[in-house]
Amino acid sequence: MHIEPFIRKSGIIAALPSANIDTDVIMPKTFLKGIDRSGLKKGVFHDFRFDADGSPRPGFVLNKAPWNKAEFLVTGANFGCGSSREHAVWGLRQIGISAIIAPSFAGIFYDNCAKNGLLAITLPADKTAALVETARKGKPVTIDLLARVITAPDFSFDFDIPERRRQMLLSGLDAIGATLEMRRDIEAFQARYLEERPWLAWSER
């Protein structure tokens, strides 16, 4: 799959500061009926964005200018908890979100982000709080993955990110292709592993 690399981007940041925003909320089940990745824009935060009758809720941040054009999100802790559904990440990418900053992310969601060119940045709560303020003022920020710096009008923060993940995002790397280059290692491992555990093959069909 082709992934757009993330090197350096600037844009509006929207704040969703609640903790434990789960993937059922990010992408409700009604939108999970497809067999491809497309068509998920409408589903993102659907029950926050729309009333029961389908009209937009004017109070929700992503329905208001300038945040309706947000490129980044700053959220509360444990963002993306719950269901493993990658549809949550696909949908966020489809509405134009390319980075999310939070005090912590749920593990599956965090891994899903990297696979889709969505930069997930973990920062301590006092720093995310400062970004929430910037977001509320509608000011833009710049995220530089090469330099690992987030720059807002009033401050800038360095951030850490695992190096392999950074390289993947910078290059838009095909993860499966990279692993298949280690095919010989995998085959050798598997042969030895299964030989040492003969009962495993027994339970296979």
Partner 1 sequence: MIQRTLYDKLVDSHTVRKLDEAGNEVLLYIDRTVLNEYTSPQAFSGLREAGRKVFRPQAALGVVDHVNSTRPAIRKAQSLENRDRQISYFGENCRDFDIELFDLLHPNQGIEHVVMTELGLVLPGMVFAAGDSHTTTYGAFGSLGFGIGTSDIEHYLATQTLAYTRLRTMLITVNGPLSVGNTAKDIIMAVIRRIGADGATGFAIEFAGSTIRQLSMEGRMTICNMAVECGARGAIVAPDDRTFEYLSALPRSPSGSLWDTAVSNWQTLSSDPGAPFDKTVEIDAADIEPMVTWGTSPDQAIPVTQAIPALDSFQGAEERNHAERALAYMGLRPGMHMTSIRIDWAFIGSCTNARLEDLRSASSVLKGRKVADGVRAIVVPGSSEVSRQAEAEGIARIFMDAGFEWRQSGCSMCLAMNDDIVPAGERCASSTNRNFEGRQGFNSRTHLMSPAMVAAAAVCGHICDIRDMEPGSAY
Contact set with partner 1 (CB under 8 A): 1, 17-20, 22, 24-25, 28-29, 32-37, 47, 52, 76-78, 81-86, 89, 104-109, 111-112, 115-116, 162-164, 175-176, 179-180, 182-183, 185-186, 189-190, 193, 197-200, 202-205
CB 8 within 8 A of CB 144: yes
Q: Could you tell me which of 176, 170, 167 has the C-alpha nearest to residue 1?
A: 176
Nearer to partner 1, 155 or 189 (CB): 189
> Rounded distance, CA 200 to CA 6, Å?
42
CB of residue 181 to partner 1, shortest distance in Å: 10
> Considering the complex, what minimum distance in angstroms separates the CB of residue 116 from partner 1?
7
| Smaller CB separation from partner 1, 69 or 192 | 192
Hey, is 160 helix, strand or coil?
coil
Shortest Å distance, C-beta 149 to partner 1: 23
Q: Which is nearer to partner 1, 58 or 177 (CB)?
A: 177
Q: What's the first-to-final CA gap in the chain, in angstroms?
A: 31
Closest approach of Cβ 69 to partner 1, in Å?
A: 26
Nearer to partner 1, 55 or 203 (CB): 203
**Closest separation in Å from C-beta 188 to partner 1:** 9
Question: 13: which strand partners?
Answer: 72
Q: Nearer to partner 1 by C-beta: 25 or 135?
A: 25
Q: Which amino acid is at 13?
A: I
Q: Which of 75, 73, 81, 78 is nearest to 24 (CA)?
A: 81
CA distance 10 to 107: 26
CA-to-CA distance for 4 and 6, rounded, in angstroms? 7
